[in-house]
Amino acid sequence: MRGYVPSYKLISPASLADALAALAREPGDWQPFAGGTDLMVLLESGKLSHKNYLNIWNLSELRGIEVSGAGITIGALTTYTEVQSNPILRREFPMLCQAASETGGLAIQNRGTLGGNIANASPAADSPPALLVYNAELELLSVRGSRWVPYQSFHTGYKQTTMQPDELLARIRLPRVWPDLNHYYRKVGTRKAQAISKVCFAATARMDEGIIGVIRIALGSVAPVPLRCRKTEEVLQGAMLNDSTIEKARAELAREIVPIDDIRSTKNYRLRVSLNLLEDFLRGLAPDSA
């Protein structure tokens, strides 16, 4: 049953400074409300337990994509539609654009924000595996100031993050990567459109004469947090790409992820699909597969 609507507050601060002041005045009392594509679903099912929200949707300070030589900085309120239509993101960070285009339908992509997808902290979210692989950094703002944190240390447990109650996720920074990197992103769900992931897999690599040079792998929906798979990467880094290496990497990934049975899938299915996606990605790196 839907939550009792009159019991919820939604106030609209006029500026980013006002929003930060409200967060600082009573830390934890107010929570940010952006595109609403997660929170309104919880409201509908009567599971939206927090009552007081700050409407940050109209804060222009949190929008926009800035490009510099070193990196791309994306405002937290940048929508999925804006992410996937940005030419530089499409060229250099294609997995992020693919994640954006495969999250919900267009009506969701027009409202859902990159910052919301991160701060909501669902392990089944679709952009985090791409952000982990791209070594994203997050800017957390409060009246105390600004701090940048590596995204890979942001999620500390199921729906838990290092963000403090008075902080707001303001920007996401992606260091620019080498152009000859291979990008592989696969979301596996019940159907092609609108599905929530059973498994989400993102990886990049660069081959150097049959040896795996740079390699980064991250998965969603297979652990309490979006997971960068460092141990599997270590097995592969500097190794010759052959059947034996692929077998070792599969075995390591099976140890590294901790999939569970839940409403969307089973532990066994998730494990099997994750290992198969890893193998598919690695075999695609072989020069004769192109």
Please provide the DSSP assignment of 207-239 as one string.
EETTEEEEEEEEEESSSSS-EE-HHHHHHHTT-
List the one residue out of 139, 123, 65 whose CA is nearest residue 97. Answer: 65
Map residues 182-201 to x or -, x wherever contact with another protein holds by CB under 8 A.
----------xxx-------
| Cβ-based nearer residue to another protein, 98 or 204 | 98
Binding segment for another protein (CB under 8 A), chosen from 69-77, 100-108, 227-235, 268-276, is: 100-108
212: left (phi over 0), alpha (psi -120 to 50) or beta: beta
Shortest CB 12 distance to another protein, Å: 7
211-220/227-228 β-pairing: antiparallel
Please list every residue from 54 through 73 that binds another protein, using CB under 8 A.
55, 57-58
44 lies in the site for another protein, by CB under 8 A: yes
Binding segment for another protein (CB under 8 A), chosen from 19-27, 38-46, 243-251, 257-265, is: 38-46
| Matching residue, tokens 């009792």 | 4
Shortest CB 14 distance to another protein, Å: 12
Q: Of residues 13, 36, 123, 189, which one binds another protein by CB under 8 A?
A: 36
Assess contact for 258 and 166: CB atoms under 8 A: no
Q: Rg of the Cα trace of the chain?
A: 20
Q: Which two tokens stand for residue 32?
A: 């940010």
Shortest CB 48 distance to another protein, Å: 9
Q: Of residues 108, 149, 214, 271, which one binds another protein by CB under 8 A?
A: 108
Q: Beta-carbon neighbour count of residue 225 at 10 Å?
A: 21
| Cβ-based nearer residue to another protein, 56 or 138 | 56
Q: Could you give the 3-state DSSP secondary structure of residue 180?
A: coil
Helix (H) or strand (E) holding 101: helix 94-101
Residue numbers at the binding site for another protein (CB under 8 A): 2, 4-12, 33, 35-37, 40-41, 43-45, 51-53, 55, 57-58, 81, 104-108, 110-111, 192-194
